[in-house]
Structure formats: structure tokens, C-alpha cells
Amino acid sequence: MLDLNRLKALHAVHVYGSVGAAAEALMVTPSAVSQQIAKLERETGARLMERYGRGVRLTDAAGVLAEHAERILALVETAEADFEALRGQVVGRLNVGAFPTAARGVMPGAIASLKQRHPDLWVQLNEREPERVVREVSRGELDLGVVQDWLTRPMALPDGLSKATLLDDVADVALPADHPLAGEREVELAALHGEQWISSSPGTVCHDWLVFTLRSAALEPVIACMADEYPTQLALVAAGLGCAIVPRLGRDCVPGNVRLVPLLPRQSRRIYAIWRSDAARRPAIRAMVDALMESSRKQENAWALQ
């Protein structure tokens, strides 16, 4: 009988293209993946991997088996979901992913609440960029994810995924305290002509959105510094090295010499929970979404009091 863990290892190599990438996705070592496939070769009596240059590649036989493995793993996942739904209990394991500011801003409260209410549910949190979260939820490697899109740059979701809106995260411009506009109640984006900007790395959702937004206001972005974490961006603003547009979830620690000024037009991003539609009947998925919504409401209430 074919072992499911070995089929999962083979399928991951087939999907990700290498033993190293498969190991990262499965959160094991490359050696563990290679060992699983070697055992699968002995079980099947077929050669599944062969040397190719400095790496390895799957054989034709492995490709056929990987396609069967995808269907088998999907059936197992469906059976587990059906069994959980039949029992109606929030138990088992939930593998979730969230982009960094959501992992810090909404996930801790949601997971803590869920563990208190459902102690037999094991939740594992993985910090991921939104695009990777979408891919891994779609493939079933994550059970649920938290992603974002900017309202001016919506993110397309693949077929087969469901989503629920958690909150709208408003973004303001962060300025050094001695900036001429730092004392204004609100600032037109166009008034920031000629400023230097602090941005996330190229290729990220936030970088692409910033460039799009500035150019939409006829501002050619001059990027002085790049940092993916908002606390780092705020530190760079505090040093007088540029301006940044920072959402509320990203500013839990604002330096004293930084001023946050609302923008016109308003800028915001929408935060979603996403999961595979065929897993929606799992009580654990529904409980996680409810906990995320509760945590998001608490976050919005905290902002309202500021």
C-alpha cells in the first residue's frame, strides 16, 4: 500500500520543481523529502528521481504517480473535512498563513481566543507574503490565509477559494515632525510633489501599490529607501530620509518625531480571510473565521478610541 506521506513528498516535488522547494513548502528538511521518495521507489519498484545537472528531476513514472497523488490527497482532505463536519467539533490541526502586519495585528488575538474556546484544535501560524498565501491555500498546503489588497489595486483570487472581509485598514502619510505639512489635519496626495519615498521591496504588493498610487496623482516616485517592515519605514521617516504611506496595522510603534496625517483621497487596503470552498464545512475553518472577525472588530474599536 502506498504511504500518504511519501505521496505528499512526491507531489510537492512535482508542484514546486525541486527537492529544496518541496521541503520548504512541507516545512521539513530536503533530506527528509529525499528519504520519503527513496522509500516510495522501493514500494513501487520504479525509479522516480534521476540526476539532472547539479540537481535532480522526476522521471515520467514519477509524473504519472504525482498526478494520481494529487487526486488521492484531495480525496483524503475531503474525507477529513466531511468527518469533522459530521462530528461537528472544532478539533484537529489548522495550518494558517498571514502577511506580516496581519500576523502581528489580528492573528495573535484570534488564535489565543480560538485556543481558549477549542483546546483540542492545534493552530500553526506561518508568516507569508499575500501572493504566497493565496498559492498555498489554493493548493491545500494552508487551510486558511489572511491576505490584503489595496482598494485601487484589487487582488484576483483563483477559482475554488472563498473569502470573508475582516476589516478596511486606512493608510496615512508618515512625515518627519519638522516637515512643512506635518501639522495639517489632512494632506492632498498631489501636495507631496518632489518628496522622496520609503517603500517596500520591488515586486511586493505594497511597493506596486505605492508606485501606482503616486503615478495616479501625477507624482513620479523617487524611492530613497526600501524596507519591508513598517516599523523600519517609520524609523527611516523619523531620521528625515523620506515619507511613507503606512496603514494602521503597521504602526503599532510610532517614533515621537513622526507625524501621521490623513491623505486625500483616502487610501486603504482590505484585509480578507481566504479558504478553499470545498473545506468550508470544516468546523475549524468556520471557528477560525469567526475568531478573526472578532479580533478585527476589537482592532477597529481600539483605533476608534485613539
pLDDT in tens, 228-263: 999 999 999 999 999 999 999 988 889 999 999 999
C-alpha cell at position 270 = 482590505
Q: Do 122 and 238 belong together in one domain? A: yes
The whole-number average pLDDT for the span 94-121 is 94
Domain closes at, from 38, 62, 85: 85
CB 285 within 8 A of CB 82: no
Query: What is residue 169's predicted lDDT score, i.e. its pLDDT?
Result: 94
pLDDT in tens, 185-226: 999 999 999 999 999 999 888 999 999 999 999 999 999 999
**The pLDDT of residue 31 is above 70:** yes
Instruction: For residue 148, give the CATH number of its domain.
Output: 3.40.190.290
Instruction: For residue 33, give the CATH number of its domain.
Output: 1.10.10.10
The whole-number average pLDDT for the span 134-155 is 89
Q: Do 96 and 78 belong together in one domain? A: no
Domain closes at, from 25, 50, 85: 85
- Per the document, the length of the chain is 306
Number of domains in the chain: 2
Q: Do 130 and 215 belong together in one domain? A: yes
Q: Do 298 and 249 belong together in one domain? A: yes
Q: Do 124 and 225 belong together in one domain? A: yes
Round to whole Å and give the CA distance between 254 and 259. Answer: 8
Domain closes at, from 36, 66, 85: 85
User: 221: helix, coil or strand?
Assistant: coil
| Rounded to 5°, angle at Cα 140 from 91 and 203 | 125
Q: Do 165 and 187 belong together in one domain? A: yes
pLDDT band at 83; cut points 50, 70, 90: low
Determine the residue type at 281.
R
Q: Do 71 and 99 belong together in one domain? A: no
Q: Do 64 and 153 belong together in one domain? A: no
Round to whole Å and give the CA distance between 11 and 208. Answer: 32
Q: Do 211 and 264 belong together in one domain? A: yes
Which residue range is the domain that position 271 belongs to?
90-306
Q: Phi first, then psi: what are they for 263, rounded to 5°?
A: -100, 150
Q: Do 121 and 170 belong together in one domain? A: yes
**The pLDDT of residue 15 is above 60:** yes
Q: Do 103 and 184 belong together in one domain? A: yes
Q: 120, 116, 146, 124: which is closest to 133 by C-alpha?
A: 146
Q: Do 198 and 94 belong together in one domain? A: yes
